[in-house]
Amino acid sequence: MVSKVLLIDPLKCDGCKECEKVCILRHSGYRRIARKRIDVLGIEPVGNFFVPFACQQCADAPCMAVCPKQAITRDTNLARVVVDASLCVGCSMCVSACPSGLMAFDYEVGLAYKCDLCDGEPQCVRVCEKKAIAYVEPHKFQQQRAQKEAAKLCGVLRPNVYFPGTIVGNGKRNR
């Protein structure tokens, strides 16, 4: 199975928070509003800028490294880090170790929790009308990013500079 990652584009996010709502509903129902696994942070006075944040599923997950009961493990099929609630003892060391602050702790039940990518079908992606959140294969993300950067570079260099092998305005190959 090809692993995927959450790709977040803050320039598309309008701060509707539908991703938060569906996350709460999927994992907790509306009984536990505080237990969302995605968080939309925003700066309204500065041009209504919003950014959805979710667990980065770190390659060398500090939360996993500090767990004294090995309740946090890596699911290699989905490239995600998961919490086994049956093993969690509620020490919350994982919350302290999380570099992005996206591991959380439910004090009512005494358990840690985090984004689990909805078992491979993230509901936040499904409900995001603006397409600010996508679930993509990492190489596709890298390809999109490279294409954007190349387009910026070409915009800066044209029409005065051509790369060897490119076709110039008259249809001939530049040498």
pLDDT at 30: 65
- Over 70: is that where the pLDDT of 158 sits? no
For the segment 41-45, the average pLDDT, to the nearest whole number, is: 75
| Helix (H) or strand (E) run with residue 27 in it | helix 18-27
Question: What's the pTM?
Answer: 0.75
Tokens of 30: 């509306």
How many whole angstroms from its chain centre is CA 138?
A: 11
For the segment 106-111, the average pLDDT, to the nearest whole number, is: 90
